[in-house]
Amino acid sequence: MRILEGMQIPFQVREYEVDEDHLDAVTVAAKVGLPAEQVLKTLLVRGDRSGCAFVVIPGNMELDFKALAKLTGDRKAEMVPLKEVTPLTGYIRGGVTVLGGKKEFPVFVDFTIELWDLISVSAGQRGVQLLLAPADYLRAVRGTVGEIARF
């Protein structure tokens, strides 16, 4: 939130009750009152050439690893093992966000972000979401947009 405030980017905070057994974006979407496609999940991936990157995709979709690899210039990409996510980002599963992490990694965002007037992303902790305009989010995270998600 401090980062967005510092960039003078308007946002709303939406809090919800956390269920440790259901941390998925579809469940979060229902709790914050938005369609799952507007609630974006942030994943940490590793390309064989480019290293770690954040990937931001709609909550109701899956990452297309081949499409991501093509966009990043990698031969292949894979999820970073869960045990490495916190040491690399400073965030725990269900609270990973691009903003304010331990390290800055490149950010790749699915093109569907541009279909909405408002999106929701994790605020960096479970139970708190940030709602903001897609263009503002892309500016804040310096994201590269591409077709990287599929049903």
3-state secondary structure 86-147: HHHHCCCCCCCCCCCCCCCCCEEEEHHHHHCCCEEEECCCCCEEEEECHHHHHHHHCCEEEC
Give 98-129 pLDDT, tens digit per residue.
999 899 999 999 999 999 999 999 999 999 99
- Residue 140 has a pLDDT of 97
Residue 74: which domain range? 2-150
Between strands 107-110 and 51-58, the pairing is parallel
Overall domain count for the chain? 1
- Residue 34 has a pLDDT of 97
- d(CA 33, CA 30) in angstroms, rounded, equals 5
Q: Is the dihedral of CA 24, 25, 26, 29 positive or negative?
A: positive
Give 7-53 pLDDT, tens digit per residue.
999 999 999 999 988 999 999 999 999 999 999 999 999 999 999 99
- Residue 79 has a pLDDT of 98
Q: Helix (H, G, I), strand (E, B), or coil: what is residue 41?
A: strand
- Residue 111 has a pLDDT of 98
Taking phi over 0 as left and psi of -120 to 50 as alpha, with beta for the rest, 107 belongs to: beta
| Residue 78: CATH number of its domain | 3.90.960.10
Mean pLDDT value of segment 129-134: 98
Chain-centre distance for alpha carbon 114:
14
- Residue 49 has a pLDDT of 97
